[in-house]
Structure 1
Amino acid sequence: MTALQLPYTIFKTQKRMDDYGASDMRCGDLTEAQLKTHFHLLDVSTRANPYTLTRITPFTQPQSMFHGSRGEGEKITQRQCANILFDEFRDLSRLFSMYGPYKHLIEKMITHMQNGNGTPFRDVSLDQALKEHILNDKTRNSTRLWLKDVFKNRIDWKNQYFPADKKDKLRMAIMKGKLPKFDRLQDNFNGMGITVHDTWATHITIKSLNIDNDHYRAVMHYKVQDHFGLDVDDISKFKFNQFRFFRIWFVLQRYNQFGFKPFMTNMESTIEITGGRNEI
């Protein structure tokens, strides 16, 4: 038998990294008629009408008792309208990001959508959130704990290496667990559920494995990517469409008069897995 050569990528999702052809990465591809007819996006903003490029005031709100008494709202430029919508987009994000060290991220990512022209997004807070998620998961869904079992049971303790012919056991361990995603109850309120929630692609790599007598120390690297964008399936679901937050997001991204580009959200974390031959 031979030792597994490191670093070694033990797992890659079927969905690939940097997939700019994904359905939620489209932008500026829908007309006013499509947005209104297919997705029922008539009431988009409380501040500006993206279709008529007019400000909305208490006198121009359709539900207002004063509606129509002073004619249409003030005309604004396309850029002014987009800026108004982005400000409302940021304000509404606070409903999904109430507490914790990650609550600032959604506003930062909305601003990146406004000004970043589709460039990838990185932030140390995202990396920290990923690391905490992996290390704090003590359930049987934990990929870290499944890998811990494999290291203990498949290391060749006599010869002090991990056998290359056992590498499939590492991938199977990942398949038994659940990849780190921000879909827990607390993620609905701490800012991670709205910024990332599900993930698109994940790569997991063993960077190094040190074996000393009856103990081992594995350095693992998790690389995770998500898309900050909405597809037609998202906005067609009531749980999204009911919120003005998502209606504004979809119009800013997909309306052919705006076409603000979605972007890749990149996260990385390096963790250690340690254990021993006789560990219970």
Structure 2
Amino acid sequence: MTRIRRVGGTITERTRGNEIYYAENDIAINAVGNISVTSGKGVVFGEPETPPVLNQYFVKGWWSLDIEGNKKIKSAIPGMTVYFHLETKNIPNDSSVFMTLFEEDNSENEETQNEDDKITLINSLTKKESFSEKVSNNKIVKTITLKNIDSFIQDEVDKVLELYFKCSYFNEAGQFPISNDEYLKVGQIIVDRYKIPGLNENGTDSADDLCYGFGIKKGGSIFESSEVSDYVSRYEENGFDEILDEKISNKAILSDKNGKAKYSEAECYSAAYNARIPFTNIDIPISTGLDIRVFNNLSDDVLFWDFEQTASLYFATGLLETNLKQMIAKFKANEGGIYENEILTNAIIESEVTKKYCNDVEEYLKTKIKENSTELQKIEDKKPYLGNYGDIQADRGNENKTFTRPIYNVNKMEGLTIALNDIWATQITIKEMENDNNNYTCKYEVILWDHFGLDLPDMEKIFNIIPSVGEAFVTWFILQHLRGYKPFITKIKFEKEFEGTF
């Protein structure tokens, strides 16, 4: 086992008795400056002493999923009940071994602390802190329920705890498991990411429907390649950060007002869709660019009034009409950022589309958990699937993922289609798991991401043929791409749970 301590300042140790170090090989001391050794009675050099025997009482320690200790594990999810096994020798039955649970910090380069964190264990019967366990036939089995550890997980840079026990009996002490490779890694597990919020399908630049401007095309890429790679790395490691990623969500104020302009005025005026002549195979182009040109003569206030009236009339009812008006109000505030709304989230949870999507997710997770019950870390799949739909489908097929993302276009008048329609990106995370023998209950989190904005292909779709219906999208498109109003990212987050067997 290697132990590394990184300290930004000074280490000061004070020992009332003797301080003795033993090493099976060399002890090396290195310093950029001087090395000073002082003593009140002199410095003595001599032959090495024989170190004390450290394996008189302890043999090995390991974690398992079962009380028998046969299903060894190295990873677990918050909420689980797991077992720590300590094999001893030469310790009489009913003798007490002191045992303290710790979280290992020192192997993480990012950590500024240099001391491992003690985790207090409470005896379920006495409701007091547990300090020791009794030996039975040179074996100790300690049951640990991984609850109330969220604060420890949040303090970790990688959001993963690495658990081990410090054990002592008479003059012998040790850390078990011996190797930190066998410490128990505890954390939530990201099991799926479909695309990346805010970026195009390849994850190389801004999504087109999040661009905005005044009809003066920026040209080239919207983001620098380094900005994209930094964002992708952050997202893959820790998800979307509303502060660090505010440029992605259009919350940041850009110095160049044309910094995210995707289309020129001429391109906007050239928009058209193909309409098929009845009883023929002939398509003729119908201009929506002409409508954009005409409506572009109206003021912002009139355009927003028209947008809200037509969108509410044709595309939303009830509470979802309220949600739609709130989304338009955020768009009018020109603030970008992230939009979350309880009305929208509740409607999503109750949608049959969502229920079908979650059912597919749960069937996949049940299979994966059963296949990897002692190696849950293998379920992790946090790298986003990118590319066109066909490529993504092929990649996900290789992982036996039959689901991609929900599409809310069943009832176009309800209010979900105009608010979301085709969800752009998703993330699924296993948050907690409670297990009892071979059965478990798994709680997972779903995050759906979408962009409340339009791109040029939206103006080239056949639904624009209906004059008043198309008016909603014409006014929306003008406000975004010719008047500089910022689109934003919509976020829907909720939790579900299901039962299964290992």
**What TM-score does the superposition give when structure 1 sets the normalisation length?**
0.72
Contact 1:199 1:226 in 2 (8 A): yes
State the Cα distance separating 1:96 from its structure 2 match. Answer: 3.7
SS in 2 for 1:43: helix
Tell me the equivalent position of 2:431: 207
Identity %: 26
1:113-148 CA distances to partner (integer Å, 9 max, x unpaired)? 111422221111222233334896258972233323
Answering whether residue 500 of structure 2 is matched by residue 275 of structure 1, we say yes
**Contact 2:449 / 2:492 at 8 angstroms: preserved in 1?**
yes
Distance 1:239 1:175 in 2: 32
After superposition, residues 130-209 of structure 1 pair within 5 angstroms as 130-133=348-351, 137-138=355-356, 142-151=360-369, 153-154=370-371, 156=373, 163-165=376-378, 167=380, 175-183=401-409, 185-186=410-411, 188-209=412-433
In structure 2, what is the Cα distance between the partners aligned to 1:139 and 1:229?
A: 24
- The Cα RMSD (Å) is 3.0
Give the residue type in structure 2 aligned to 1:35.
Answer: C
Task: Give the stretch that moved more between structures: 229-238 or 122-131.
Answer: 122-131
What's 2:208 paired with? 23
Which 4+ runs in 1 deviate beyond 6 A? 171-174
Contact 1:131 1:270 in 2 (8 A): no
Amino acid at match of 1:251: I
Secondary structure of 1:102's counterpart equals helix
One-letter identity of the residue aligned with 2:484: G
Q: Aligned to 1:42, what secondary structure does the other structure show?
A: helix
Alignment CA distance shift 1:150-1:140 (3 Å)? same
Q: 1:251 aligns with which of 478, 495, 498?
A: 478
1:220 — aligned with what?
Answer: 444
* 1:266 matched to 2:446: no
The answer to whether 1:7 aligns with 2:151 is no
- Counterparts in 2 of 1:250 and 1:227: CA distance versus 1, 3 Å: same
**CA distances 1:23-82 after superposition (whole Å, capped 9, x unpaired):** 11111252554433345433359xx9433x5xxxxxxxxxxxxxxxxxxxxxxxxxxx11
What is the total number of aligned residue pairs between the two structures? 235
Of 269, 283, 286, the residue aligned with 1:36 is 269
Give 2:103's aligned residue.
none
The partner residue of 1:117 within 329, 332, 335 is 335
Q: Is there any run of 5+ residues in structure 1 with no aligned partner, and where?
A: 54-80
Counterpart secondary structure, 1:137? helix
Q: 1:29 to 1:84 in 2, by over 3 A?
A: closer
Could you tell me how far apart the structure 2 residues matched to 1:222 and 1:134 are? 15
What is the alpha-carbon distance in structure 1 between the residues aligned to residue 328 and residue 347 of structure 2?
A: 19
Q: Distance in 1 between matches of 2:453 and 2:464?
A: 13
Partner of 1:237: 461
Superposition deviation, residue 235 in structure 1: 1.0
* Maintained 8 Å contact 1:26/1:254: yes
Match of 2:310 in 1: 92
Q: Which is strand-richer, 1 or 2?
A: 2
CA distance in 2, matches of 1:27, 1:166: 39
- Separation in structure 1 between the aligned mates of residue 453 and residue 335 of structure 2, nearest angstrom: 13
Are the aligned partners of 1:120 and 1:265 in contact in 2 as well (CA < 8 Å)? yes
Higher relative contact order (CA 8 A, sep 6+): 1
1:127 corresponds to: 345
Residue 492 of structure 2 aligns to a residue in which SS? Answer: strand
Cα offset, 1:182, TM superposition: 1.5
Q: Distance in 1 between matches of 2:313 and 2:498?
A: 37
Residues 368 and 379 in structure 2, CA contact (< 8 A), matched pair in contact too: no
The change in CA–CA distance for 1:266 and 1:163 in structure 2 (over 3 A counts) is closer
Gaps of 5+ in 2: 1-72, 77-185, 200-204, 216-263, 273-286, 382-395
Q: Which has the larger radius of gyration?
A: 2
Letter matched to residue 296 of structure 2: P
Q: Distance in 1 between matches of 2:266 and 2:357?
A: 48
- Contact kept, 8 Å, 2:191 with 2:429, in 1: the verdict is yes
